[in-house]
Amino acid sequence: MLSIYCPHCAEHRDEEEFHYKGQAHIARPSDPDKCSDEEWGNYMYFRANPRGIHHEVWVHALGCRKFFNVTRDTRSYQVFESYLIGTSPSITGEQGGQPS
Amino acid sequence: MSDNPASSKEQYKAPITDWTGVADGVTGRSPLAHVGFDELAQMTPSDAPVQLREYALKGHLTLRCNPEDAAQTAAFEAVTGLALPTAPLSSVASSDTTVRWIAPDEWLISVPASALFSLQQRLQDALTGHCALVDVSSGLTVFELSGERAVDVLKKCVPVDLHQRHFPAGKVVSTGFAKASCTLRRLNDETFELVVRRSFADYIWLWLQDASLEYGLRVEN
């Protein structure tokens, strides 16, 4: 069971209150009409699958129902930090999951 | 496929004695009307260390607005006489109004059903800018769980730390309650208020009976 800090509720809660919502920091192409199929396909479907530090979106589904980002190690499941959407992580890994 | 649809229809329309007037001739019914809290209140032991009470058919409003908009917070305070609780997980209450923090831009306001319509109108008139005020009364019901073992019962139900140091009176958390959802507020040492979905009321009532079995439960009315 992970204990995750919700930056909106400002306290730690159990994992069962949260849902995982995938990789964080995926920027939508500014002009989708000018994207090649490959660029659009990469944006829509292809996600990093790093072994190590991963930045990901979580939602406090049973609590405040707000989204936020989490930095987690995919090897140990250790959660390093929670930070608000639109801000940058303070912990970045050498392997994958880099903010774009 | 009943042989006698008329009789089942009659049964459905059998006299109901526990309707409660809400306002202006509109009637509502507690989601636990079938349980018969009146009778249970007479039957359950008077010395049980857990007590349960339902406050059905209260008025509930969901307010979405911007806590950094001074005009909105001032308008709210002018109408309700209560300062909007902007600190996470906090609440404010007067004798008949409770305002609970739900999210940074969302609050749940509870008032007696008779006061709901006028409060909604006054808030709608007073609030300006980007905001929303929705009557959610028909979707919610309120339980009050109290007694010296109420905390022990809740420990079986919610995944939050209920220690006084971490969960003092006045604190509000929205969390899971035995896989349903609930907004839990501590009123004092031994009293908790649960705002739950009306459609889950029966499930939660059954769950609470089971969870309090080892201590003893008194139903109050």
Question: What's chain B look like in SS3?
Answer: CCCCHHHHHHHHCCCCCCCEEEECCEEECCCCCCCCHHHHHHHCCCCCCEEEEEECCCEEEEEECCCCCHHHHHHHHHHHCCCCCCCCCCEEECCCCEEEEEECCEEEEEECHHHHHHHHHHHHHHCCCCCEEEECHHHEEEEEEECCCHHHHHHCCCCCCCCCCCCCCCCEEEEEECCEEEEEEEEECCEEEEEEEHHHHHHHHHHHHHHCCCCCEEECC
On whether any CB of chain B is under 8 Å from the CB of A2, the answer is no
List CB contacts (< 8 A) between B88 and chain A: 8-11
Residues B118 and B157 in one domain: no
Could you read off the pLDDT of B88-132 as tens digits, one per residue? Answer: 999 999 999 999 999 999 999 999 988 999 999 999 999 999 999
Residue B25 lies in a domain: no
Residue B13 lies in a domain: no
Residues B158 and B203 in one domain: yes
pLDDT at residue A55 in the model: 95
Residues B112 and B71 in one domain: yes
On whether any CB of chain B is under 8 Å from the CB of A63, the answer is yes
Nearest CA in chain B to A60: B175
Query: Of B137, B161, B186, which residue sits at a domain end?
Result: B137
pLDDT at residue B158 in the model: 97
Between residues A100 and A45, the one the model is more confident about:
A45
List CB contacts (< 8 A) between A16 and chain B: 159, 176
pLDDT at residue B88 in the model: 97
On whether any CB of chain B is under 8 Å from the CB of A52, the answer is no
On whether any CB of chain A is under 8 Å from the CB of B168, the answer is no
Domains of chain A as residue ranges with CATH:
3-83 (3.30.2270.10)
Residues B193 and B124 in one domain: no
Nearest CA in chain A to B184: A63
Residues B66 and B124 in one domain: yes
Q: Which domain holds residue B183?
A: 32-56+139-219
Residues B199 and B161 in one domain: yes
Establish whether this prediction's ipTM goes over 0.95.
no
On whether any CB of chain B is under 8 Å from the CB of A10, the answer is yes
User: From the list A9, A11, A62, which residue is nearest B176 (CB)?
Assistant: A62
- Mark yes or no for CB contact A63/B175 under 8 Å: yes
Residue B197 lies in a domain: yes
pTM (2 decimals)?
Answer: 0.87
- Mark yes or no for CB contact B174/A64 under 8 Å: yes
Q: In this model, does residue B142 exceed pLDDT 80?
A: yes
pLDDT at residue B26 in the model: 58
